Amino acid sequence: MKQDSCQSARALDVPPGFLAPVAVSWQWARSTTKCETWESRRRFRVRLGGVKNLCAMSTVWKVGIGANLNLNVMTARRKLNVLDHQPARLPGYAIAFHEGLRPFMVEPAFATIRLAEEGDVCVHGLAVLLSEEDARKLDRQEGASKVYSVEEILAELYDGRKVKAEVYVAKWALSSVPPSKRYLTLMIEGARMLGVHAEYLNHLESLPYYIPSEETIRKRSLWPKPQTLPPITLSDMQEHKKKEGARMWYSLLGYVFERNRITFSPLLREGCDSSARRLAFLRCQSLDSDDNARPFPRLDQLSSDEREYFLQAMDNDTATEGVEMVGHLVEFWEDQVLDHLLGDLCTAAETTMTP
């Protein structure tokens, strides 16, 4: 919701009721207790300049209830300039996890909101004030035009303010499934850092997360061993990309996959290894690094949760119709701390890719 940004002047620690900086004289500034010394007057002038710039800006309140509940995601990964933020309640709404909102990703479900029913826990989230430019940037990052609609609802901030805020709502009703452990953990960590009410934090901690079935784990044992697949280099993948009409090649954890070309995915780049990108995504880091930069992630340095996350990504890819394993990425295995000769790739896969 666009608004006069002077309403958020308190975020810059200016005096109460300070809504029109241009109307405030420096004589008043000197008389206030905040400006009794030269140094305090200097600090006040800095704040005043910040308020003038903010008031000239068109701003939008957004409320994040999933991964965006974590402020680090908004600032470090999404690279948004958060002008103000507060925990917030969304009266009349509850959290939901709908299956398949984002294709080509390991996540079984992402958070959205739905109308609350009797007995539901009211959803809480992170309300952030963004410039109009950053608000639309976030829309693009979230794929709002594809899977979400941007809805405006009333948010009650913990500091007592009530603001109209934009939220992302699934465009269609889908079946509910548990989110991944990565996603739910990110939400819980964000809620804890934000200081949401204990009732809602306890609710998040009680939610189930996705656990692969015995059948899914059994299928992992049927994956071909890397050394049984043709060796493919980074150069080979880039050359394949230039072939007209060729299917898309990408790699993950030392395997090269082939699939029909896709128009957009935040985690897959044609002709590139996606291991480092997925690991950065998992660790809430920027996705701007070079996908094919070496060294590649080392299997022996992944935590058990990180390893399982990669395995679930491969579960997803191998279960997708039309996706095939067509080779092993030579450079990936060269960067592992083990003998990377073809004869030992089988051992490497068995010791590092078995839950």
Per the annotation, binding residues for substrate are 183
Distance of CA 53 to the CA centre of its chain: 29
Sequence length of the chain is 355
The question of whether 151 is a catalytic residue gets the answer no
What is the spatial distance between Cα 147 and Cα 162, in angstroms, rounded to a whole number?
28
CB 19 within 8 A of CB 6: yes
Catalytic residue among 142, 156, 308, 331: 142
Find, among 89, 60, 71, 69, the residue nearest to 151 by Cα. Answer: 60
Contact 109, 98 (CB under 8 A): yes
Alpha-carbon span 312 to 315, nearest angstrom = 5
Extract the annotated binding site.
183
HSE value, Cβ hemisphere, 13 Å, CA-based, for 256 = 27
Measured CA to CA, the distance from residue 77 to residue 287 in angstroms comes to 7
* Cβ atoms of residues 311 and 220 within 8 Å: yes
> Which of the residues are catalytic?
142
